[in-house]
Chains A and B, each alone.
Chain A
Amino acid sequence: MHDFEYEAPSTVAEAIGILEKHNGSARLLAGGTDLIDQIRMGRFTPEVVIDVKKIAELMQMEVTADGVQLGAAVPCYQIYGSEQICREYSALADATKIIGGAQIQSRASVGGNLCNSGPAADSTPALIALGTTAVIAGPAGTREVPVEEFCTGPGQNVLQRGELLTALKIPAQPAASGSHYLRFIPRNEMDIAAVGAGAQVVLDSSGENFVSARISLGAVGPTPLFAQEAGDLLAGRPVSDEVIEEAMEAARKIASPIDDMRGTIEFRLHVTGVLTRRALETSIARARQNLGK
């Protein structure tokens, strides 16, 4: 493997200092499940690898009445291991349960998944559906970016030199809400999404009408996508097969998938609609369950 130095700072400020010093030739290491393979394959040739797992705030997950403050390097198994995350932020639990197998889930983090910025990342559509904000620290201080604006292309994102993702802020979910993430893969487990879809819906107290909805897609464009129109057109309307059909159509419209070994364009467009419907239906069922309906 390519030769590099290893640093394990214990504060965000120290990490920023090392990033600045190496001016673009440092890589951040969280769970390493992407990075170590990418270095081995020669895709990255960093001078220094900065292990962020000694920085306490990046390893903490706090669930409060205001929502979730998720440290960028918290591994998947700790996320779906929280009953509160499974119950109130279900889409995120769904995604973290299907990233790789047990070995990968022991190390891989949602922050790393986001920073790797792969179009098929499983946890990113879940974060988008839940309305998550990325917290970025850098030499000029901290800034916040909605997760749907974080990725800018395959493997590309808004992080500037000297910056690192420190946390993900997920707002508290309304009581009458439910969320879900699912994907289509050619196998049962351990594969990369051919299409992924996330949804979060808020219903009124009757459980029969949408108050609002957020829909997100994975693996059907250069970045994970926020299907804003598809969600917005549901707001204020009664839950019915017809309106869900409209949302499916709107989601398909923003998809621009490629042909590859996991599926053709035609297949992926079809599955985009199907998964959008399933993500919505499960979210609706969960919202009704949370309402006691």
Chain B
Amino acid sequence: MAKKRVVTTTINGTQIEFLCQPRQTLLEVLRDTLNMTGTKEGCSNGNCGACTVLMDGRPVDSCLVLAVESEGAELETIEGVAPAEGLDPIQTAFLEQAALQCGICTPGFIVAAKGLLQSNPSPTEEEVRFYLAGNLCRCTGYDKIIRAVLDAAQAREEVTV
């Protein structure tokens, strides 16, 4: 068995050290070692996006990242999306648009949407659909999710204006 490694990384603004084996994915470590179970496991092969986290500001499938690769990285998970009080505008919009049913895909969608709005604060509907193509939802039919993200972009704009 390969020796465990010590990895130092920043998760949701807090520096964290953990032990892992080289073969463990970031998703496994988040859920099973750090008990951060908000990030979901769907397909575990990079198709569904349920395990999306932001790594240095970019969305990645945490099932396709080795935990050792996160050494020195800045990670943001669904647990870090809401401010200390209340919700992020993306979360509010998901509730208002009823953009979820079973909820398994929701953390991945919200984190990916956060990645999108950070790089492109006022996307078109086509840009939202294209950017979120790596997130699958088997309940909603996507329309409500797309509307929620567009609403959130609008709400964020109104806050900054």
Measuring CB to CB, which residues of chain A are less than 8 angstroms from any residue of chain B? 1-6, 8, 29, 32-33, 36-37, 39-40, 49, 51, 53, 77, 100-104, 106-107, 188-190
Contacts and interface: CB of A to CB of B under 8 A. Distances in A.
B21 to A, nearest CB: 7
B66 A3 contact: no
B2 A51 contact: no
A3 B52 contact: no
Contacts of B2: 3-6
Given A101-B135, A104-B64, A190-B134, 14 more contacts: A1-B25, A3-B23, A6-B5, A6-B22, A32-B64, A36-B25, A36-B63, A36-B65, A37-B64, A51-B68, A102-B59, A106-B55, A188-B133, A189-B130
A2 B64 CA distance: 14
B101 interface: no
A-B residue pairs, 5 tightest by C-beta: A101-B134, A6-B22, A189-B133, A106-B58, A101-B133
A36 B66 contact: yes
Contacts of B49: 101, 103
Contacts of A3: 1-2, 21-23
B116 interface: yes
B46 interface: yes
Nearest to A78: B58
Interface residues of B, number: 35
A229 B34 CA distance: 58
B44 A103 contact: no
B45 interface: yes
A213 to B, nearest CB: 30
A37 B115 CA distance: 24
Interface string B111-126: 0100110000000000
A141 to B, nearest CB: 30
B42 to A, nearest CB: 12
Nearest to B63: A36
A265 B148 CA distance: 42
B148 to A, nearest CB: 17
B133 to A, nearest CB: 4
A51 B58 CA distance: 19
A5 B131 CA distance: 34
A38 to B, nearest CB: 10
